[in-house]
Chains A and B, each alone.
Chain A
Amino acid sequence: MSVTQAPDTVGADAGPPPPASDRARAERRLGWYLAGPAFVVMLLVTAYPIAQAFYESLFKYRLTDPDAREFSGLGNYLVVLSDGVWWRAVGVTVLITVITVAIEAVLGFALALVMHRALTTLRPILRTAILVPYAIITVVSAFAWFYAFDINSGFVNSWFSWVPGISENTNWFGEFSTSVTVIIASEIWKTTPFISLLLLAGLAQVPDELQEAAKVDGATWWQRMYKVTIPNMKAAIMVALLFRTLDAFRIFDNVFIMTQGANNTEVVSFLAYRQTISRLEIGLGSAVSVLLFLCVVLISFLFIRLFKVDLASARGER
């Protein structure tokens, strides 16, 4: 997207062009009537819980001691932000997010290319096969990975004991590095299909004429990839990365099933869960949830600003 396009986008969103005809105004009103109900529903299901969480986060409030509820202002945020536990959880979450998204982007792109190039007869089977992990419920896949690597019930140790560093006595969930490796591996296995599907859609949008023109000009496969394919599917790549980053940042199930946060593998969502659900400290838990929400907003903002993603063009509207 070029810089000159930006004012157009802003202008279209921000308000009516100066001379608005009656007809244009009527159309806009109709647009609001049509979109209005959906907008209200959106507010109810998303804005209301967020507002409620923010309100709760201003109190010291324990579910089993409702009489002691007291207003504490931003005290809960102070407690959270000044605690090493929070920052460690943020660190672990960022680590998991960066590694999984980076590996998934490469793997997903490779799979998308395979699916794109596959023979027509093979394509449906290939796509189904690649999509299977994504179809499995996360908790179920987390259990499967946990049992595979568990020192008592797992088969990984006995199958791969010939690999240096793995023996019958390797306790995968006994320390940070190995626990987080299994968590990351299961996350990658589970969600690479999602990213590859989004990238496949992007690949399909690259015009064949451009590829052919580049070929006629004598461009190699790599040159075509860098100069034609990737620039033309930039929006799709960014949307895929954005969605996966947000998803990875909210990781919960794998950690919950595999380590319960032991060995410092606690992530932000799990921290929020523990304060709210285990400790029943509604105020403190809400503060963590609100901070998690702000992190997600920040990530979206950074992606859209820094990478200049144009969601409208990614959806094929322009």
Chain B
Amino acid sequence: MKGEKILNDGLMNIFEAHGINRRDFLKYCAATAALFGLSEFEFSSKLAYALESGSKKPSVMWLEGLACAGCTISLTQSLHPPVSSIILDKISLRQHDTIMAAAGHMVEEIHDQTVKEGGYILIVEGAIPSADDRFCEIGGRPFRKIVEEAARKSKAVLAVGACGAFGGIPRATPSKGISVTESLKKAKIDKPVINISTCPVHTDHLVGTILYVLVTGNIPELDSNGRPAMYFGDSRLIHDNCRRRAHFDAGEFLNDWNDPRQKDWCLLQKGCKGPMSHSDCSIRRWNDGINFCIDCGGVCQACGEPSFYEHVTPLYTVESESSKKIMAMKKAGMFTKEES
């Protein structure tokens, strides 16, 4: 295999120490390369180069604001590649309060030093309070200021989860959480932000975007909401790839979770927002493809959209603004499937 030659044994040993064998690794390269629109050869050589070129690993700073740590947990759930190989081999994780050994003043020192050096990837989990800075302070400093200062000197900013990308649930609370983009705009900081929404961020979306930026040195193509087009974007409608879709078209809607006959029926009447929700969940699924919201009989709440949560509530009926739009679209025949 082409990729194999590029990977010397030293590198393979590292991967193997983390429990990825050669075959898994090459499989992973192939899949990721396809996703990035690179050849497998190009991808693995770039990755190998990025990993082996001298001692300097790209530095990454992860800050957490008005958040629940769900996106951090998504990071730790990465199995392919394992999170330990990302954290120890691929990046220099300068700051991540949930993971790092340091505490207290040492965190501040590392933070200041990293900001001084500049050129890092900044990842922000959680929203930024706009009602009052005191709703989120770290080390006695407003989170808003910490983000602004870190963004100025960063190479790229990743706003993760519904909260970081669009304000998410905190937007509807007294702390009035706003997105990273809005916050930087207010401070007149001109930095492109990659929004990787959903609540929480999807492990693959997060890891894939980090790797994309590291390997190509570029920002991936973004959709109109600033989200990586390879995971979101117009063509990635949950509804179009939902396995309950035939029942939607046939007008069969689940109303009793106990009825085995209805097990796969459309969840529209239970509040499903799949018809207005962009993400590849229904193809990629979650947690290594084990399942996703709709297949467990739960509903898609459009957690990757800017409208989440304020405009998708009430969640489990068709009374929300979002559901009303969907119903109107349905009535107008916008979901009629062409015969094939």
Asked if A pairs with B, the answer is: no
| Chain B residues with a Cβ under 8 A of chain A | none
| Chain A residues with a Cβ under 8 A of chain B | none
